[in-house]
Amino acid sequence: MFALLFGEDNMKLISSMGALTLLAALSSAQTLYSNDFDTDTTSNWNFFTNVTGDTAAQGDQGNAADFFFDYSTVGISAAPGSSTTRGLRLQANIIGTPNPTGTALYGASVSPLGLTLNGDYRLKFHAWQNYHGPLGAGGSGSTHVTMAGIGVSGTTIQVPGSAVNGTAFGMTGDGGSTVDYRVYNGSASVAATSTGFYASGTAAGSNNSNNAYWTALYGGASAPAAQLALFPGQTGATSAGAAGFAWRSWEILKVGNTVTWFVDGNLHGTVTGAALPGNNIFFAQTDINAGSSTDNNSIALQFGLIDNVQVEAVPEPATMTVLGLAALAALKRRKK
């Protein structure tokens, strides 16, 4: 990106102090929103569900959101950079609760109250996807999708099969779907690989976890020892291409009408002509199957975690140019 702004010759000069000056400016980008969930912020969120009468509480109509969940109670250590083990836990189609719709894509979404984002920005957070074992294929009904998206109003549900108005991304934890890596662009239906949105290519099925792109990134993770001690059935390891059982660093970058999705610094998807009708963000959990799990441990073990949410402003191109010129000037002064 910087080479395009400053040219190849100048990029050779932007090293040492020049590069450090530029990177320091970018790393101190303005924070537009943050939530580390270390305190109970339940009252600052909207909860939406596709089941009439459902609330954020666990155990009523099947979907749940806990904005002050202590994930150490299920053996998970603190997310990178966290000082506590509190986070947002999202659950869908919980065992022992009804599924009135009788359909797949049963789930819930949450959005911050009153958040209005303008211009270009990046949404960053940590996510952990847990499921009941044995790891690998998983237990009964273990294939759920954890999602995040931008460009929504924050006042309506954002769940596949119901509505996704903005641009969103999701992935399964166990790799048990035919579409494990998902892009949504203004539609409740997952985008086809032919759109070119996926980093894994345009071939049919390339967004499945068995594609070489994903198997090179994910797989082989085990349940934390503390979780295995609490739940002896959490044996085995995640399948090749499955992203569960690890803290993953997500980033959703909006520049103009292009939205790019990274996980752990790796490109997952790029949406051009992104649907961005609103100015808020959301997180969601959905079950891709109609039936809930029959495993009693799933109520404790089937979830997606979100922690360390931060939205930062992205400098406009003109600002980037000024920063780059400042970096060059600093380098030239150093050489004199």
Residues 201-222 have pLDDT tens digits of 999 999 999 999 999 999 999 9
pLDDT tier, 140 (very low <50, low <70, confident <90, very high otherwise): confident
Mean pLDDT for 277-286 is 98
| Region 319-331 average pLDDT | 49
- Please say if the pLDDT value at position 50 is more than 70: yes
Q: Does domain 31-314 have CATH number 2.60.120.560?
A: yes
Is 50 exceeded by the pLDDT of residue 62?
A: yes
Give the separation between CA 313 and CA 124, rounded to whole angstroms: 11
Q: What is the mean pLDDT of residues 65-92?
A: 97
Compare 70 and 21 and report the one with higher pLDDT. Answer: 70
pTM listed for this prediction: 0.86
Q: What percent of the chain is predicted at pLDDT more than 90?
A: 68
Confidence of residue 102 (pLDDT cuts 50, 70, 90): low
Looking at residue 28, what is its pLDDT? 64
CATH 2.60.120.560 residue window(s) in the chain? 31-314
**Torsional sign, CA 276, 28, 88, 245:** positive
CA end-to-end span of the chain, whole Å? Answer: 28
The pLDDT of residue 139: 84
Question: Would you state the pLDDT for residue 97?
Answer: 58
Top pLDDT among 80 and 15 is at: 80
Q: 292 vs 153, which has greater pLDDT?
A: 153
**pLDDT of amino acid 99:** 55
